[in-house]
A and B are shown apart, each in its own frame.
Chain A
Amino acid sequence: DARVTQTPRDKVTEMGQEVTMRCQPILGHNTVFWYRQTMMQGLELLAYFRNRAPLDDSGMPKDRFSAEMPDATLATLKIQPSEPRDSAVYFCASGAGGSNQPQHFGDGTRLSIL
């Protein structure tokens, strides 16, 4: 059963440290999304890529967040420097890009910034 794989599952670090989250989309999927889930804001889009090109990153704080797809099998989300308000669960989702193809989510990275 194909799955989106996210690493690490949990990350605890101190304020000011760099955080890198990784996502392996389902093989063959050409669309990758990054979402953030918090109690206050719910699930919100940070960025998304199609064929490795960024299409929308308007939900991402540009001064500290960056998202890339070095190749078709890896997407990364970096925070530098991290702040306590970045504490959340970060989900990656991938899709095949067709009109009837749903997004499949990974199990997320639970990030805690102390």
Chain B
Amino acid sequence: QQQVKQSPQSLIVQKGGISIINCAYENTAFDYFPWYQQFPGKGPALLIAIRPDVSEKKEGRFTISFNKSAKQFSLHIMDSQPGDSATYFCAASIGSARQLTFGSGTQLTVLP
């Protein structure tokens, strides 16, 4: 009931391409869906977050698409850059002030 499933496990994209990472959740009580970016040796850093009352949120090159009926959400990185190479985690919680349930992570490599 608490799981968040993330795919793919790894992703290789050419510079300038679009990176797409998908997540699915089970618990319909989740109402806050953040994406975190993690570089080696660093803690996860919030990238962008969405609540289920909207279907899409865009911040710069990063877009979250949210499908409430399918219980799925995805991260799109437009014009991917080598500096975007990192591990990305989706997460979900009941309210942003409560504990996060994380997906398993996607290691993104953007080739120059």
- Bound-state CA distance A44–B100 (Å) is 8
- Bound-state CA distance A43–B44 (Å) is 10
Return chain B residues, CB-CB under 8 Å to A102.
Answer: 34, 46, 49, 96
Return chain B residues, CB-CB under 8 Å to A33.
Answer: 99-100
A99 touches B43 (CB 8 A): no
Return chain A residues, CB-CB under 8 Å to B49.
Answer: 102
A99 touches B99 (CB 8 A): no
For B101, give the chain A residue with the smallest CB separation. A45
A105-B44 in contact given A42-B104, A42-B105, A43-B89 (Cβ < 8 Å): yes
- Bound-state CA distance A21–B18 (Å) is 40
A101-B96 in contact given A43-B89, A43-B102, A44-B102 (Cβ < 8 Å): yes
- Bound-state CA distance A70–B49 (Å) is 32
**A18 interfacial by beta-carbon distance below 8 Å:** no
Q: Which of B36, B89, B97, B105 contacts A95 (CB 8 A)?
A: B97
9 tightest A-B CB contacts, nearest first: A105-B43, A43-B102, A45-B99, A102-B46, A97-B97, A107-B43, A42-B104, A105-B44, A106-B43
Q: Give residues in B with beta carbon < 8 Å to A.
A: 34, 36, 41-46, 49, 89, 95-105
Known A95-B96, A103-B100; further 8 A-B contacts with Cβ < 8 A = A31-B97, A45-B99, A48-B98, A48-B99, A99-B96, A105-B36, A105-B45, A108-B43
Q: Give residues in A with beta carbon < 8 Å to B.
A: 4, 31, 33, 35, 42-45, 48, 50, 56, 91, 93, 95-108
Show 23 A/B contacts (Cβ-Cβ < 8 Å), sorted by A.
Answer: A4-B43, A31-B97, A35-B100, A42-B102, A42-B104, A43-B89, A43-B102, A48-B98, A48-B99, A50-B97, A56-B99, A95-B96, A99-B95, A100-B96, A101-B96, A103-B96, A105-B36, A105-B43, A105-B44, A106-B43, A107-B41, A107-B42, A108-B43
